[in-house]
């Protein structure tokens, strides 16, 4: 199958490419505008997979160039990762997020329709659930208004996809609601590579452990949790990537649209993650408690029961693996990239 992966050099996209290419019948084409990724990842993907990968440096909002990708390649399925993802930045720059995350997706879908490509996997987020009172969170829960524009772009896009599926029976669409991806590939060659100061927990605390940053800000310690810090369902990025491969194996069986959570079903607090990372790294993680961030929720963890039962996908890696693999990335692949650039 010829699979187009938008944002394929990003964190989740790159790990998914690795999993897709384990199937010798898959051919992967990547597009990425490198706004929050690095071209060095392409070389590492080829080193891991031992295969040459076709890559286009284009933006999904560039309709003409995007259409050329479809005309040059007989694309059969699209996995869409190309979106801005920082909760904090989205609060400060909402127009940037609505333009790219919604406008870019609509452009992509129009090009797909024009080229009669109607198999689509969308990278959504647990933020679409807003603040839920009952845990674990199931797909059937009523979506609540997210507290930030990033989450709102995901809700709006999900509605667009639902309407699209209703309009044409030929569409086969999977919406995957990620919880909190962490970790890195066990080779240490690819991992999370944010531009500038990291927004997410593990890359930030990893840099504190490495002595590159002074301390970690812990946003709030008065949530109704075991230690007062926020609780999230952290899932190893490789487990997450494997979920996409399973979706592809089953997508032709779908009736229009399917929605699945990708999470472990377990919640870890920020303090628990810090303590585990200290054990793995052997380093003291300096942190300070600061005010809660606008838009954050206190507790969020998934029920992965639906995808477990329907498709047989189960997250297999625990918090120890997540910390170990990310620390390996911090000390090997990431340093190599930094030294090159």
Phi, psi (degrees; rounded to nearest 5) at 92: -80, -35
**Inter-residue contact 236 to 182 (CB < 8 Å):** yes
Distance between CA 338 and CA 205 in Å, rounded? 18
In the annotation, is 150 catalytic? yes
Length of the chain: 341
Distance between CA 130 and CA 149 in Å, rounded? 12
DSSP 4-20: EEETTTSHHHHHHHHHH
278, 316, 85: which is closest to 186 by C-alpha? Answer: 316
**Inter-residue contact 229 to 263 (CB < 8 Å):** no
Phi, psi (degrees; rounded to nearest 5) at 90: -65, -30
Distance between CA 184 and CA 326 in Å, rounded? 5
Phi, psi (degrees; rounded to nearest 5) at 180: -115, 95
Consecutive H or E run containing 261? strand 257-262
Instruction: Kindly give, in sequence order, each residue whose CB lies less than 8 Å from that of residue 217, ignoring residues fewer than 6 positions away.
Output: 287, 288, 290
4, 9, 43: which is closest to 26 by C-alpha? Answer: 4
**Inter-residue contact 299 to 134 (CB < 8 Å):** no
Distance between CA 251 and CA 261 in Å, rounded? 16
CA 210 to chain centre: 24
Instruction: Kindly give, in sequence order, each residue whose CB lies less than 8 Å from that of residue 274, ignoring residues fewer than 6 positions away.
Output: 205, 216, 218, 285, 287
> Which residue among 11, 150, 223, 268 is the active-site one?
150
Residues tagged active-site: 150
């Amino acid at each position: 199958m010829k699979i187009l992966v938008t944002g394929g050099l990003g964190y989740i996209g790159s790990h998914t490419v690795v999993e897709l290419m384990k199937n010798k019948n898959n051919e992967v084409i990547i597009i990425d505008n490198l706004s929050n990724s690095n071209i060095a990842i392409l070389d590492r993907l080829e080193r891991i997979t031992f295969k040459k990968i076709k890559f286009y440096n284009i933006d999904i909002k560039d309709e003409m160039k995007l259409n050329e990708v479809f005309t040059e390649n007989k694309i059969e399925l699209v996995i869409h990762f190309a979106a801005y993802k920082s909760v904090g930045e989205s609060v400060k720059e909402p127009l940037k997020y609505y333009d790219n995350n919604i406008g870019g997706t609509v452009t992509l879908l129009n090009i797909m329709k024009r080229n009669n490509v109607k198999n689509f996997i969308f990278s959504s987020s647990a933020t679409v659930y807003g603040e839920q009172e009952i845990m674990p969170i199931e797909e059937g829960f009523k979506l609540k208004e997210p507290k930030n524009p990033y989450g709102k772009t995901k809700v709006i896009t999900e509605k667009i996809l639902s309407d699209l599926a209703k309009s044409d029976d030929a569409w086969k669409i999977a919406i995957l609601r990620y919880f909190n991806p962490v970790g890195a590939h066990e080779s240490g060659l690819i991992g999370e590579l944010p531009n500038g100061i990291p927004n997410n927990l593990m890359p930030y605390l990893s840099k504190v452990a490495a002595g590159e940053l002074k301390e970690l800000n812990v946003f709030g310690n008065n949530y109704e949790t075991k230690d007062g810090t926020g609780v999230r369902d952290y899932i190893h990025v490789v487990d997450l990537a494997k979920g996409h491969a399973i979706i592809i194996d089953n997508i032709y069986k779908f009736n229009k649209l399917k929605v699945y959570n990708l999470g472990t079903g377990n919640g870890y607090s920020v303090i628990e993650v810090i303590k585990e990372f200290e054990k793995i790294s052997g380093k003291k993680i300096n942190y300070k408690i600061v005010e809660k961030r606008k838009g954050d929720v206190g507790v969020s963890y998934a029920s992965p029961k639906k995808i477990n039962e329907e498709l047989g996908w189960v997250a297999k890696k625990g918090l120890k693996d997540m910390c170990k693999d990310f620390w390996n990335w911090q000390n090997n692949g990431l340093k190599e990239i930094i030294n090159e650039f």
